[in-house]
Structure 1
Amino acid sequence: MSDFDQMGIVVDWVDACRKGDLATLLDLYADDAQIECTCNGTQRYRGRDELEVYWGPRLSAFSSAGFGLEEIHPVPDGVDLEYSVAGALRIHASFRFSAEGKIDSTLCAPARQNAHHGCAC
């Protein structure tokens, strides 16, 4: 059992995405955190610089299109989240955490396979 609030960290992540706040979002991640996105082929990003390259344009799209929290729940080794972009495109994200209470890894994938929608995660 961790001594930090994993659900609270993911809620803070959602808030940073809604606000388009890149600095706050990056601060939630460990220095060597990894994102694996399987929305349009598999892409991996590691470390703050690569996460900034990944998140910068996406946050801009989220703030203009709209970002919604659909589902959030704890899982045995982290938190799973489903969010929507523009009220329709749903993305599933799985978060795992470091012992220091930072996001260590995120895996995102389309929550619903729909060939004409693509992915904004």
Structure 2
Amino acid sequence: MRDFDQMGIVVDWLDACRKGDLATLLDLYADDAEIECTCNGTHLYRGRRELETYWGPRLNAFSSAGFGLEEINPVPNGVDLEYSVAGALRIHASFRFSPEGKIHSTLCVPARQGSQNCGAC
């Protein structure tokens, strides 16, 4: 059992997204964290600099549209989150954590959108 609140970290992640707070969002990730996004092909981003390049434009575009919490569930090795952008576009994100309580990896895929390009994650 981890001695940190994985669900709380994901809620903090969502709050940072809602506020468009890139610095806080990046601070939730481990230094060697990675994001694998499969919304428009498969793209892998590693380390703070690449995560900043990934999240910067997305936060600017989508924080004003609104991030909504649809579902959040603990899973054996982390937390699964389904969130919406602008109340309609749904994204499924799976979070895994470092022993220090930072997000180590995120896998995002479009939710309920088939093979359509979600463009949000």
Query: TM-score, length-normalised on structure 2?
Result: 0.96
Alignment of 1:1-121 (within 5 A): 1-114=1-114, 118-121=118-121
Alignment size in residue pairs: 121
| C-alpha contact (below 8 Å) 1:89/1:119 kept by paired residues | no
User: Could you tell me which amino acid in structure 1 is paired with residue 86 of structure 2?
Assistant: A
| C-alpha contact (below 8 Å) 1:89/1:117 kept by paired residues | no
CA displacement 1:23-75 (0-9 Å, x = unmatched): 00000000000000000000000000000000000001121211111000100
- Runs of 5+ in structure 2 lacking a partner? none
Provide the C-alpha distance between the structure 2 equivalents of 1:90 and 1:46, rounded to a whole number of angstroms.
24
SS at match of 2:64: helix
Ranges of 4+ aligned residues in structure 1 off by more than 4 Å: 114-117
- Runs of 5+ in structure 1 lacking a partner? none
User: Could you tell me which amino acid in structure 1 is paired with residue 35 of structure 2?
Assistant: I
CA root-mean-square deviation: 1.1
Provide the C-alpha distance between the structure 2 equivalents of 1:56 and 1:31, rounded to a whole number of angstroms.
17
Query: TM-score, length-normalised on structure 1?
Result: 0.96
Provide the C-alpha distance between the structure 1 equivalents of 2:47 and 2:71, rounded to a whole number of angstroms.
27
Q: CA deviation at 1:117?
A: 5.7
Q: CA deviation at 1:113?
A: 2.4
SS at match of 2:106: strand
Q: Percent identity?
A: 84
Provide the C-alpha distance between the structure 2 equivalents of 1:43 and 1:92, rounded to a whole number of angstroms.
15
Provide the C-alpha distance between the structure 2 equivalents of 1:100 and 1:31, rounded to a whole number of angstroms.
11
